[in-house]
């Protein structure tokens, strides 16, 4: 009796979750974390630029959320431990590090490097 009452509701929940999954998949071309809306109803355009740069230049090695892979893990507070100040982060992206972290001095402008640095610190963090 209880089962008969509950099952339609459970079915509806499954349908809702499935729809949600399909919609999120269709909308997000990448799983890199989105920029939240500001209090003025708009999202920070520099952070949006930073997210695009991240997707195109960094996520293949560092993972879409900065979880690491071929490149170092940068999310969950790691970046602020490595570089408490944004200047150190900007510098390592500009000049590269070791054998496999490329220098981006000739691919990205200083404005783009700053945008992706803010995205890493403010959104991936």
Q: Does 82 bind ligand HEC (CB under 6 A)?
A: yes
Q: Which is nearer to ligand HEC, 7 or 70 (CB)?
A: 70
Q: Does 48 bind ligand HEC (CB under 6 A)?
A: no
Q: Which is nearer to ligand HEC, 6 or 70 (CB)?
A: 70
Q: Does 18 bind ligand HEC (CB under 6 A)?
A: no
Residue 63 token pair: 């993972």
Segment 87-106, which members bind ligand HEC (CB under 6 A)?
Answer: 89, 92-93, 97-98, 100-102, 104
Q: Does 74 bind ligand HEC (CB under 6 A)?
A: yes
Locus of tokens 């890199």: 32
CA angle, 22 as apex, 18 and 28 as ends, to 5°? 140
Distance, in Å, from the CA atom of 115 to the CA atom of 15, rounded to the nearest integer, reads 39
Q: Which residues pair with 101 in a beta bridge?
A: 97
Q: Does 73 bind ligand HEC (CB under 6 A)?
A: no
Distance, in Å, from the CA atom of 36 to the CA atom of 86, rounded to the nearest integer, reads 21
């Amino acid at each position: 009796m209880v089962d008969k009452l509950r099952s339609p509701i459970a079915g509806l929940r499954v349908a809702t979750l499935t729809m949600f999954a399909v919609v999120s998949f269709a909308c997000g071309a990448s799983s890199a974390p989105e920029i939240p809306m500001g209090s003025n109803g708009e999202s920070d355009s520099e952070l949006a630029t930073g997210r695009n740069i991240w997707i195109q230049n960094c996520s293949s090695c560092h993972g879409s959320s900065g979880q690491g892979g071929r490149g170092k893990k940068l999310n969950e507070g790691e970046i602020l431990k490595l570089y408490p100040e944004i200047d150190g982060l900007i510098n390592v992206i500009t000049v590269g590090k070791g054998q496999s972290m490329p220098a981006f001095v000739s691919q990205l402008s200083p404005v783009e490097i700053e945008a992706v640095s803010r995205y890493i610190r403010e959104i991936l963090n």
